Amino acid sequence: MSKPFTTAAVIGAGTIGLSWTALFAGHGMRVRVTDPRPDLAEAVEAALTACAPQLAEQGLDIRDIANRVQLASDVTEAVRDADVVQENGPENIGFKQELFATLVREAPAHALLLSSSSAIPATAFSGELDDASRVLIGHPFNPPHLVPLVEVVPGEHTSEESVARAVEFYRSVGRTPVVERKEIPGFVGNRLQNALSREAIYLVEQGVVGPAELDTVVTNSLGLRWSTVGPFLGAHLGGGPGGYRHMDEHIGVSMKRMWDALGQPDQGPEETERLITAVEKAYGHRSYSELTQERDHKQTAVLAALHATGNTTEENQR
């Protein structure tokens, strides 16, 4: 049996690193966090205060959560006795190359070295290392203390043992890991998100709907559906008793014909500025904390409702 996951190092305490910190501490791990930001202590405290009630709603004992988190002055101190390292620094190959060289050198030999990278595959920043067998992607969706999926993506040099341990680790902190066997920029989740975002931007650019109306379309249809069935099971059911086969023959033909008509938005500087202004007009009157609290409250409610059905998201996928 592999060493238990007792101590985590979190490198980079921005949006994602702070949420991981709360999740790991909520699951009883000791967490060492490092980030050069001057307000690190305040940021960690604020994140733990904001996330603790949502972790409690997941059934976790959060009474001692703040005592489990320590600040480290640098990467070497953070990883000293780590069983697992979760990297959440800037999305930049040069940064990740340098950092993972340090991690391989400084972290204990058994420690898993995981990156939250959204689009850069592990081989791109670990290919030159002497030993990249413990380096792989553990890509979450924001915020990772609530959204269950973690895309586990090995690089060319990652060992099978590390893949299995990463799956074991993410399950141990209540996540739903999915192993993806081929490196592709953006992995699966962000490719899907980008395909939808591209069309969403196009529709707003064309004046078909505004940003808030587009969001209403998604949250009241696809978003709701996709929290219970994915696109393939959804289509299988959309075909009625004839299933996916009937769907493909019946509506699929006209759907596929539409592929050629999908939009290619024109995101030059002027169009980008117009889009940003439209989004700010739709949502800019409400504060970040008000909007994130509302989002987290709703997501916690959806997760609790799904849990109450006895189905985990992982079970839905079988």
Ligand X SMILES: NC(=O)c1ccc[n+]([C@@H]2O[C@H](COP(=O)([O-])OP(=O)(O)OC[C@H]3O[C@@H](n4cnc5c(N)ncnc54)[C@H](O)[C@@H]3O)[C@@H](O)[C@H]2O)c1
Binding site residues, ligand X, CB under 6 A? 11-17, 34-37, 88-91, 116-118, 139-140, 142
Residue nearest to ligand X (CB): 14
C-beta of 43: minimal distance to ligand X in Å? 8
Q: Which is nearer to ligand X, 72 or 247 (CB)?
A: 72
List C-alpha distances in Å: 314 to 190, 219, 230: 19, 22, 11
Q: Which is nearer to ligand X, 60 or 120 (CB)?
A: 120
81 closest CA partner among 189, 8, 190, 175: 8
Instruction: For residue 47, count CB atoms less than 10 angstroms from its CB and return exposed for 0-12, middle for 13-18, buried for 19 or more.
Output: buried
C-beta of 24: minimal distance to ligand X in Å? 15
Q: Which is nearer to ligand X, 13 or 152 (CB)?
A: 13
List C-alpha distances in Å: 214 to 91, 173, 203, 272: 28, 34, 8, 17
C-beta of 268: minimal distance to ligand X in Å? 24
Q: Which two structure tokens, joined as six digits, stand for 270?
A: 């002027």
Integer Cα distance of 31 and 55 in angstroms: 16
List C-alpha distances in Å: 287 to 46, 202, 283: 16, 27, 9
C-beta of 291: minimal distance to ligand X in Å? 14
> Where on the phi/psi map is residue 174: left (φ > 0), alpha (ψ -120 to 50), or beta?
left
C-beta of 190: minimal distance to ligand X in Å? 8
Q: Which is nearer to ligand X, 95 or 244 (CB)?
A: 95
C-beta of 249: minimal distance to ligand X in Å? 38
C-beta of 91: minimal distance to ligand X in Å? 4
CB distance 103 to 75 below 8 Å = yes
For 29, the 3-state DSSP assignment is: coil
**Residue 41 phi, psi (nearest 5):** -60, -45
**Residue 127 phi, psi (nearest 5):** -60, -30
Q: Which is nearer to ligand X, 102 or 267 (CB)?
A: 102
Residue recorded with tokens 């990740």: 96
Q: Which is nearer to ligand X, 28 or 190 (CB)?
A: 190
Q: Which is nearer to ligand X, 129 or 137 (CB)?
A: 137
